[in-house]
Amino acid sequence: MKQWIIICIFFPVSIKICGQSTVTFFRLLPPDCTPDLNAKEKNALLRKGTYTIPGGDSIETIQYTIDTTESKNYLRYEYGFTTGQRGFVVFELRKLLRKNGEPLLIFSRYGGAAAAYDQHELRLFSYKSGKLAEINNNLLPKEIDIRDFLKTGTPDSIKNKIESYVNITYDLYPNVKNAVSMRLFQQVFLNDYENYLVGTELLFTWDGNTFSRKIISDLE
C-alpha cells in the first residue's frame, strides 16, 4: 500500500513536468539568453510575437521576433534590426526527455550576417523545483570539425578552401523525432569541392540517456 501511494504521488508530478512547453522554460532562461529583455518584456514578446527594444532611432533599432507554433517542445526567436543592418542572432530552445521523465533543455545561439554566420554557443539545462540549472555539456559537441563532413584523406588545402565557403550551425528541430542536428550550409557553390563531402548534416539522436551521431547525405 505504501509503495502504491508513492507511485500515485510521483505519477502526476511526472506528467506535469513532461507536459510543460518550451514557453514555460523560455520565461526561466537566464538573462544572457535573452539580451535586453526582462521578464515583462519576455511576456510582451510571447504575447505579440514581436518586441522592439526601446531607445532605437532611424539609425539603429533592434527587434525580437518569436515563433512558438512549431511544437510545444521547441521554440525559436530572433534578434535583428529594422533599420537595414544585416546582422542577426537566432536563438533556439528544445526540450527532450530523459528516461526518468525529467526534461533536458538545449539552448543554441548562432548569428552573424546573411552570408557569414556561425555557431556562438550551445548550453544544456535541467529543470527542478521550478528553476533551470545549467549542467555540464558532455552530451553534445559545442563545435564540429569540418572534417566530420569530409571524406577520409581530403587534403588540408581542400579542407581549408571548403571551410572558408561554408557555415556550420545547430538545428534543434530537424525532421527527425528526438534529435538535433548540425548542418553545413554553403555560402557559395562548392562545385567540384562538393565531391569531397560525405554529407551536409550530422544528426544526433537522443535515447533518453545519450546521443548517437550519424552523418546524413543529401548529395546524391
Q: Is the pLDDT of residue 3 over 80?
A: no
In order of 91, 103, 163, 165, the CA distances from 95 in angstroms are 14, 6, 31, 32
* Domain C-terminal end among 83, 112, 135: 135
DSSP helix/strand/coil, 54: coil
Instruction: Identify whether residues 21 and 82 lie together within a single domain.
Output: yes
Are 91 and 177 within one domain?
no
Whether the pLDDT of residue 14 is over 80: the answer is no
Same domain, 147 and 118: no
The kind and range of the H/E element at 75 are strand 74-81
Contact call for residues 215 and 148 (beta carbons, < 8 A): yes
- At residue 175, the pLDDT reads 87
**Do the beta carbons of residue 74 and residue 173 sit within 8 Å?**
yes
Grid cell in block for residue 40:
515583462
Number of domains comprising the chain = 2
As a whole number of Å, the end-to-end CA separation of the chain is: 60
Do 157 and 87 share a structural domain? no
Statement: residue 220 has pLDDT above 60: no
Which residue from 106, 129, 130 is spatially nearest to 119, judged by alpha carbons? 106
**pLDDT (0 to 100) of residue 188:** 82
Distance CA 126, CA 102 (A): 8
Q: How far is CA 192 from the centre of its chain?
A: 31
Please tell me whether residues 95 and 203 are part of one structural domain: no
Q: Read off the pLDDT of each residue in 76-105 and give the average, rounded to a whole number.
A: 95
Range of the domain at 100: 1-135
Domain boundary among 84, 105, 135: 135
Dump pLDDT digits (tens) for 182-218.
999 988 888 889 999 999 999 999 999 999 999 998 6
Encode pLDDT of 37-62 as tens digits: 999 999 999 999 999 999 989 899 99
Residue 84 backbone zone (phi > 0: left; psi -120 to 50: alpha; other: beta): left
What confidence score (pLDDT) does residue 8 get?
39
To which residue does cell 518586441 refer? Answer: 51
pLDDT at 125 over 90: yes
pTM score > 0.85 for this model? Answer: yes
Q: Are residues 170 and 95 in the same domain?
A: no
To which residue does cell 500500500 refer? Answer: 1
Question: For residues 4 and 129, what is the distance between their CA atoms, to the nearest angstrom?
Answer: 23
pLDDT at 19: 64
151-159 average pLDDT score: 96
Residue 75 sits in the same domain as residue 43 = yes
Cα–chain-centroid distance for residue 58? Answer: 31
107 and 210 in a single domain? The answer is no
Q: Give the mean model confidence (pLDDT) for residues 78-88.
A: 92
Residue 7, classified by CB atoms within 10 Å of its CB into exposed (0-12), middle (13-18) or buried (19+), is exposed
Residue 63: count of CB within 10 angstroms of its CB: 16
| 177 shares a domain with 198 | yes
Domain end position, chosen among 102, 135, 168: 135
**119 & 35 share domain:** yes
pLDDT digits (tens, 9 = 90+) for 18-41: 568 999 999 999 999 999 999 999
43, 111: one domain: yes
Query: Rounded distance, CA 218 to CA 220, Å?
Result: 6
> Tell me, what's the pLDDT at 17?
52
* Cell numbers given for 113: 550576417
- Same-domain pairing of 220 and 118: no
In whole angstroms, what is the distance from residue 66 CA to residue 75 CA? Answer: 8
